[in-house]
Structure 1
Amino acid sequence: MSPVTRQILVATDGSVSSTAAVEWAAMRALAVGAELRILCVLEAYAPGLQVPPDYLERDREEGERILKKAAQAASAVAPEISVSVDRRTGPVAETILAEIGEASEVVLGSRGRGGFTSLVIGSVSLKVAGHTDKPVVVVRQTIDRPHGTIVVGYDWSEAAQRALTYAFEVAARTGAKLRVINAGNSTIYDGSIYTRVTRADLIAGEEAALRAEVERWRQENPDVTTDIEIIDGHPAWVLAEASKTADLVVVGSRGVGTMRAALLGSVSHGVLHHGHSPVAVIGSVRR
């Protein structure tokens, strides 16, 4: 039996950010030896609406044009990869989620052609990132020159462990340095039990615990240069600031299952909105 080829799914609507997403996905596919599947989803007309045939033909031609442009963009940055294209009609986010299948990860533009131009992150990106356990990478309209650094937020949760695994894999494939950041607001300790414990002691203890936690990933990826950092501040803002000099920020999301769990956590939501680099959201495994 031949081995199953890894597949990366990228959705495009022809917008600037989705074109950047296609290029990022193509480079990622090249790095991991994956096939690239490009999906264009056209919003369906309202049920019962009598749509003239020429409108449907126009939509078909538009979808084909978008896919052709996307395939050309992918081949321009990674001519060695295998590229396939598909067009679907339906609710955009729901259709993308239904098409994920065996794809190892999903790549999306931060905002499509629809919606309010003032919004940094579109509703499609937020919905897809919050409703799958596959890694979802959200790419902005432009990608800066490589910084050689991957940033991952870590808080000991299951999703954070999966995020760390993904971040190490990306760093190992690209030769980038990895910054593992644990961020949080300082706790003010009252009472005599803490009078001889300094803030520096607390940070040193947290850093030692984090370093020990990360060690098993480092042993599996000995060639990845890893920095461990404990930073005071809200995690979303700390990671957003770190994204200014990062090629990718990796964060864990809440798990999926219940409606509450399907929503993005405040940190991943904040980094998606305020980050400057592509952001990978890693969900918990489905139960």
Structure 2
Amino acid sequence: MEGTTSSSELGSVVVGVDGSEPARRAALWAAAEATRRERPLHIVYGADTDGRALYVSVESIENVRRAGRELLDVTAAAVTEQFPGLQVNTEFSRSSPVPSLHRAAGLHGTIVVGNRGAGGFGSLMLGSVGLKVAAGAKTPVVIVRGIEDGAETGTVLAAVRDEHDLEAARYAAREAQLRKSSLRLLHVWNILQSVGNVVTFLDDVDQIADEHVHHLNAVGARIREEFPDLSVQVDAEKSTSVASVLVEASREADLVVMGGRRSSSYLGPTLGRVTHTLIHHSHCPVQLIPRHGHEHGSQS
């Protein structure tokens, strides 16, 4: 039903662990999220033992298995201590972390990773494995960062470019409802990118601004219609750097939600520049929502 929040709409919560402190914090954040959604938490350790079996000894593989299972048990115990009513499942995967997490999330789950990893075997370091998880995911991915001080703002921020971001705005609205928070829809347009290299008159700039505001208001109107009990704030800003405005706005949010646009490269799918900057510098967790069938533009 539109305008309501159910556990099935937001799906299950899957978190990857590797023994690092950021991954431990990500697991606790994921546990809180699973509790809000009233869904089980699925903790995954992707050991990549199958991929390394030909290159390391049987003893080394067994040590990795033992360490991985111990890590899963310790993480599950820490989560259960803080969230005693939460159902927690663990999975030791013989595959590498990226396919392990994608497979565990299925069609509707949300993947949670820390902003840095331990490095080495089973790493979830953002910039390597973490980026591949985010870039290749067909379901939402949350990069947990900026939660060390524990302060809450009571606001969920959604980055909106146009009507193609309506689904991301819906995700943000559901997250805001679960948190009993307000929702801020923020559209940032790059005036230099909009006018290109052509010298324009002030009237032209005003017309461009009106077009951007029109797209934002259209999304805002749909969200208010579908979520009538939610407090929704709509803001538009112009800047020479979209990424810097979003990073600064993240200081006043508990979660940033945005469409995870991708561009192609010879290495496979990669995240756009704005998205890449935000997930490395945001002051709060960032949730990326895949844009099925409407992925365009390599700058975002």
Shift of 1:202: 5.6
Instruction: Tell me the CA shift for residue 41 of structure 1.
Output: 1.2
| Partner SS state of residue 90, structure 1 | coil
Matches of 2:187 and 2:80, distance apart in 1: 38
Counterpart position of 1:236: 243
C-alpha separation in 2, matches of 1:173 and 1:272: 23
Following the alignment from structure 2 to structure 1, what is the Cα–Cα distance between the partners of residues 208 and 106? 45
**Counterpart among 238, 263, 271 of residue 264 in structure 1:** 271
Deviates more, 1:134-143 or 1:121-130: 134-143
Q: Give the Cα–Cα distance (whole angstroms) in 2 for the partners of residues 98 and 238 of structure 1.
A: 34
Stretches of structure 2 lacking an aligned partner (at least 5 in a row): 1-6, 295-300
SS at match of 2:271: coil
Q: How many residues align?
A: 277
CA deviation digits over 1:83-135, x for unaligned, max 9? 110101232223322332245211111111006xxx98331111011111200
Secondary structure, counterpart of 2:126 in structure 1:
coil
* Aligned equivalent of 1:226: 232
> CA 1:286–1:123 in structure 2 vs 1: closer, same or farther (change >3 Å)?
farther
Contact residue 17 and residue 44 of structure 2 kept, 8 A: yes
What's the % identity of the aligned pairs? 28
> Match for residue 216 of structure 1?
222
Query: Counterpart in 2 of 1:79?
Result: 84
Q: What is the letter of the counterpart of residue 49 of structure 1? A: Y
Structure 2 residue 118 is the aligned partner of structure 1 residue 122: no
Aligned match of 1:163 = 168
- Give the TM-score normalised by the residue count of structure 1: 0.85
Tell whether 2:72 aligns with 1:67: yes
C-alpha change, 1:190 and 1:142, in structure 2 (3 Å) is closer
3-state SS in 2 of match to 1:38: strand
Q: CA 1:39/1:128 → structure 2, altered by over 3 Å: closer, same or farther?
A: same
Which shifted more, 66-75 or 126-135?
66-75
CA change 1:180–1:88 in 2 (3 A) is same
CA distance in 1, matches of 2:238, 2:264: 32
User: Displacement, 1:216?
Assistant: 1.4
* Deviating more after overlay: 42-51 vs 177-186: 42-51
* Secondary structure of residue in 2 paired with 1:263: strand
Cα offset, 1:13, TM superposition? 0.9
Q: Provide the alpha-carbon RMSD of the alignment.
A: 3.0
> What CA distance in whole angstroms lies between the structure 1 residues aligned with 2:254 and 2:70?
30
Partner of 2:55: 49
Gaps of 5+ in 1: none
Q: Which residue of 2 aligns with 1:148?
A: 154
Checking the alignment, whether the CA contact within 8 Å between 1:254 and 1:261 is kept in structure 2 is no
TM-score, L = length of structure 2: 0.81
